[in-house]
């Protein structure tokens, strides 16, 4: 009888995360922050001496979400910070790869997202309106990343992601940092948002 393939991952915290049935008790912010700080966006095809990590991207998306939704409660800002959190386990796949993998990728992402949300006091599924607002911030971030560090012209980036309001991003500049700094920044922002929720 063939042995079932292993569908869990051991985390640095010692937790064992079952990818087929993730539970909130097996999720730790330190594992998420560490993993995301070492996952490169743009398949690593960015300028600079450090990869542009998903953790750095998540911090930018949360900032942009706050700017586009200044009255949003901290719980939705936390949802923005955690919008790509499942990638600490499954990595950052570019859209063409996600399409090639098919619906299984989306189902896995949804299971992990629900467990992560529950772990940190968010509803398993956030409202569609909030998801759209986070997606808007995500697209603005993608435009900034494309033009500042991924070699896109503004015209090309605008074609794919839409041109953001110049005033919204005028003072924001992407700075590539070592993973340990990004990890620390991510966990600190997470703690601040959790504190604001109480």
Q: How many domains does the chain have?
A: 1
The alpha carbon of residue 47 and the mean position of all alpha carbons in its chain are separated, in whole angstroms, by 20
In this structure, how many other beta carbons lie within 10 angstroms of the beta carbon of residue 181? 15
> Please, what is the average pLDDT of the chain?
94
Supply the range of the domain harboring residue 156.
Answer: 24-196
Higher pLDDT, 180 or 95: 180
Mean of pLDDT values over 104-109: 85
Q: 38 falls in which pLDDT band (50, 70, 90)?
A: very high
- Report yes or no: 55 and 37 within 8 Å, Cβ to Cβ: yes
* 154 inside domain: yes
Q: What is the pTM of this model?
A: 0.93
Query: Is residue 4 domain-resident?
Result: no
Phi, psi (5° rounding) for residue 61? -60, -40
Query: CATH number for the domain including 77?
Result: 1.10.3210.10
Tell me if 158 is assigned to some domain: yes
Is 14 among the domain residues?
Answer: no
Please report which confidence band the pLDDT of residue 2 belongs to, taking 50, 70 and 90 as the band edges: low
Residue 1 lies in a domain: no
């Amino acid at each position: 009888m063939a042995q079932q393939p292993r569908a869990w991952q051991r985390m640095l915290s010692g937790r064992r995360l079952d990818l087929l049935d993730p539970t909130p008790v097996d999720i730790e912010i330190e594992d998420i922050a560490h993993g995301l700080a070492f996952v490169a966006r743009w398949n690593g095809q960015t300028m600079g001496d450090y990869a542009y990590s998903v953790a750095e991207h998540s911090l930018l998306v949360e900032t942009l979400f706050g700017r586009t939704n200044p009255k949003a409660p901290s719980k939705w800002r936390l949802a923005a910070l955690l919008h790509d959190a499942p990638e600490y386990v499954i990595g950052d796949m570019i859209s063409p790869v996600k399409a090639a993998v098919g619906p299984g990728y989306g189902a896995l992402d949804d299971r992990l997202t629900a467990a992560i949300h529950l772990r940190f006091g968010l509803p398993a599924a956030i409202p569609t309106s909030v998801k759209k607002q986070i997606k808007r911030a995500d697209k603005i971030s993608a435009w900034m990343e494309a033009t500042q560090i991924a070699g896109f012209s503004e015209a090309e980036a605008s074609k794919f992601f839409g041109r953001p309001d110049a005033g919204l991003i005028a003072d924001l500049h992407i700075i590539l940092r070592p993973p340990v700094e990004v990890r620390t920044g991510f966990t600190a922002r997470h703690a601040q948002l959790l504190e604001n929720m109480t």
